[in-house]
Structure 1
Amino acid sequence: MLYHATGVLLGFLSLYILVETSDICRKPNGDNNINGKKLTEFPIKIFPNIGLQSCYKECQAHGNCFSANYDRNQLTCQLMDKTKSQLNPLIDAEHFIYMEMTDTVGSRGKTCGDIVCNNHSTCIRTLSGKITCIKTDCAEPYPLLDNGGITERTFSPISATYGCNPGLTGVGSGKRITCRPGGKWSALSYRCETPDHDCSAIIRSDPDMIGHNGVFTISSYPNKTTAYCDMTTKGGGWTVIQNRVDGSTDFYRTWREYSDGFGNTSNNYWIGDNLSYHSGSMFSTRDQDNDYRSDHCSQYYHGAWWYYSCHLSNLNGKYMGPGVFNDLSMNWKWASDGESLKSTRMMIRPLSF
């Protein structure tokens, strides 16, 4: 026998009614059981820590269950709203038993005594002996999410949590929805979008973003990450790949760290440019010497840069603050005659913008 507890609020009191699943349910028919197989469709409900016979009864009692997968190892019951067919074939699953309901299905649907339960109700027998249908599930089907799907579900309370397909970005905070038995789903205020490649792509897709500087998610450098976008300077669309405002972040780092990116977009950071050739020079770091001198420019000048032999600029050099003339410092000789700079920002944007 299966028992169901239903909670009802009466003023300031909580009344819990204990009811028994209707004994119209029969024991599993061995002829309808298939060992080592299961249906791969999405379950409409899952019961943990339950026996095979109880699993069968739960499916018989539920208005929208026509088959069940039973996991003998995990003692888990999956109620299904479909049966095996050419479009929904069974698959091999060593620890599963597949069962189909036949004895409670009539021409009008799932029978419950002399009535028929709708697809969100369960047939029960109350302690007084009355057979009836009670609402146990959401009256609406699960909402669909373009380019995404359900990642987690609960049944008490009834809820569904959504996520995006790999490579896409979720937008919105309402990715978990809830429903009362017999009710409707709460709003799914969540969508899946292709992340913008860089800051210029953000403006191409939404010209109203011009003038709105800030941190955005982009899909490059080298993977999906966040970057500060300058949406104001010369029409906007600039991806800031380097920003330095003080000496709180060490820029004397390894090749891997520069490839992955480091720091915080609110002050000092670097977001991994592809470290390819620039003006005929390759990027060098303290652990990877790619310059054209016999010694190691990155180690000698305490930085990471497209050194040639060695540099006229060293924007990832040691932060010393303004007023210092030192080749190890963060400097740009063309702009400051070699004086250490107070702050720097490197921005890139496609020539075709």
Structure 2
Amino acid sequence: MYHTGCYSQSVCNLRRRSVEDFSNQNITIATSNITRCVECCSYDACNVIGCGSPGYPDNRGPLCFSCNQELNPLLCPSVRVCNKDQVCKIEERIEFDERVFTSGCVNNQTCRTSVVDVFGKRSLAGCPKCCSTDLCNDACGVSSNFNFQVTPPPTFTPDITESTNTTGDYWYTDCYEAYHSGHTVSGVYTIYPWGRLGKSLQVLCDMDIPPGGWTVFQKRFDGSVIFDRHWDDYKNGFGTVKSEYWLGNEAIYELTRSEQTRLHVSLTLKNGTEYNLLYNYFYIGNETTRLRLYLLGPVLGNGVQGFLRQSGEIFATPDTSSLAKTNNGGWWFSPPYYHNMLYFNGDYGMPTWIYPWYGLADTGETVLKTKMMLNRRH
């Protein structure tokens, strides 16, 4: 097998090193007769100035591998142009007893110890540049006069349905993590359910209901968003955090896949009566299982507990199920109607919304607000 193509005379090292080379703490800087390259390193992918290539734009960062969960990070077939203030990063995880690697761009002062970094790890309190000889960047600023200070997130007092919180360079998987990082005010946060190399989502965090850190994945209060939607809409999510929304089944699965989450549901009637229930175990399966619902007690609160009867049901939408089409929304339906002890996604304010909460609200005509939230159990 032969590889053909072009390469620049500025390339530092054409040999692809193994993963073991990356994690070796006794790495020696490779030397060659190529002197034009300032920060092009085969093992830490610094290359922040384009390896000295003529015409490389000043406002661009390095060209990095960009793959999700590859068995061999060096065989990643796609690349991504990073921003000027970013560097390349590879993270290692164990998935189903296999080592997998996710690569991409990351801000060059980002350091997080919850995952194993093969390279690209940066210190939050150190030096802003990429150090070829110090993979963890712990001593990068020893001989530098640069003084980098981390600016804490701003103090804010948002209204729970209107305000937005910007978390800056802080990367929170969910509202639980934001709460335990010191953010105790309810509002809109940006979370990264798939890690910081995955897509981000804006979500409403309820920090007031004990124990704090609830991620709201369903919210309705005025009927401004239509919930009679197809499978892909429910998969990806719809609506906005400043109105009504469904966070998305992919995100709900990712946030509950540890099987260590709990569920809080609430319903407010037009007469002001509010019902709440806390289910101590809640998670859903992946698409292969049709997002099967797993719900267990103990159950606490002042509402009827019948939603437990729907545990084990698959998720259905109007384009995949006649029952969902009849009910005009996506849900974990349990036929016939009277077995749907809880159903929050029907036609808002309409008599066709059957049993929003069996025994408490028989049709949607009496419903003012619904909310569903998840939280970690630890």
Query: Which TM bucket (shorter chain)?
Result: 0.3 to 0.5
Higher alpha-carbon Rg: 1
* TM-score normalised per structure 2: 0.43
Structure in which a larger fraction of residues adopt strand:
1
* TM-score normalised per structure 1: 0.46
